[in-house]
Amino acid sequence: MDIGGIVLLSLKVSGVAVIGTMPFAFLLAWALARGRFPGKMLLDALVALPLVLPPVVTGWLLLLAFGNNGPVGRLLNDHLGFTFMFRWTGAALAAAIMALPLMVRAMRLSIEAVDRRLESAARTLGASPLRVFWTVTLPLSLPGIFAGAVLGFARSLGEFGATITFVSNIPGETQTLPIAIYSALQMPGSEAAVTRLALISVALSLGALVLSELLARRFHEAKGRAHVL
């Protein structure tokens, strides 16, 4: 069992999942925090859905949509020659969907926490709405955005059900840490491997959480703000 390869694959899948999801998560968080539109409650519920749905159902839905016979999957395959099926990119997509609710939630809270009166003050000082966004709203919500990214990363590292349903268990391609642990558990005499993989999992997740907390603190040391977790 190639433990180094498994860890690297997991980090790659989670990293790509989080970086790819960031812009969408931020737009959704912004719409939910600031927007007023019909169907907002429905959008809110849809974003949160992967959190409460059995992961195997999320995986199956991904299979329906992005599988080679699914509407999106066929389109991608016909026009771009690209497929998620049985590829690490599919594992990243599954991880992204599962991480999305956590990321949106953290970002939304931090956007909602920005004092709108500071934005008004900036307007009277000559800033256009776009400039207010870049110089006031975004910097003030950065800790939450970082916290959301790190939480999403930690969630992605642990993703199992949707991934194994969607892209199966292929060593070197879709066999991430949790799936490797599951596989090892099926084989007699692999307790040592399971222990090692599990310890690495604990270390990575703990590291991610501590990192997000440190980032948030460092950011607001001088500004008298509380931590974000």
Residues binding other proteins (CB under 8 A):
115, 117-118, 120-128, 131, 135-136, 139-140, 222-225
Closer Cβ to other proteins, 65 or 127, answer by number: 127
Distance of closest approach, residue 138 Cβ to other proteins, in angstroms? 10
Closer Cβ to other proteins, 23 or 126, answer by number: 126
- Taking CA atoms, 162 is separated from 51, 55, 58, 168, 203, in Å, by 12, 5, 6, 9, 23
Distance of closest approach, residue 222 Cβ to other proteins, in angstroms? 5
Closer Cβ to other proteins, 140 or 167, answer by number: 140
Residue whose C-alpha is closest to residue 65's, from 73, 57, 53: 73
Centre a 10 Å sphere on the Cβ of residue 42 and count the other Cβ atoms it contains.
9
Closer Cβ to other proteins, 189 or 224, answer by number: 224
Closer Cβ to other proteins, 139 or 207, answer by number: 139
Distance of closest approach, residue 211 Cβ to other proteins, in angstroms? 21
Distance of closest approach, residue 40 Cβ to other proteins, in angstroms? 23
Distance of closest approach, residue 115 Cβ to other proteins, in angstroms? 8
Closer Cβ to other proteins, 60 or 133, answer by number: 133
Distance of closest approach, residue 110 Cβ to other proteins, in angstroms? 13
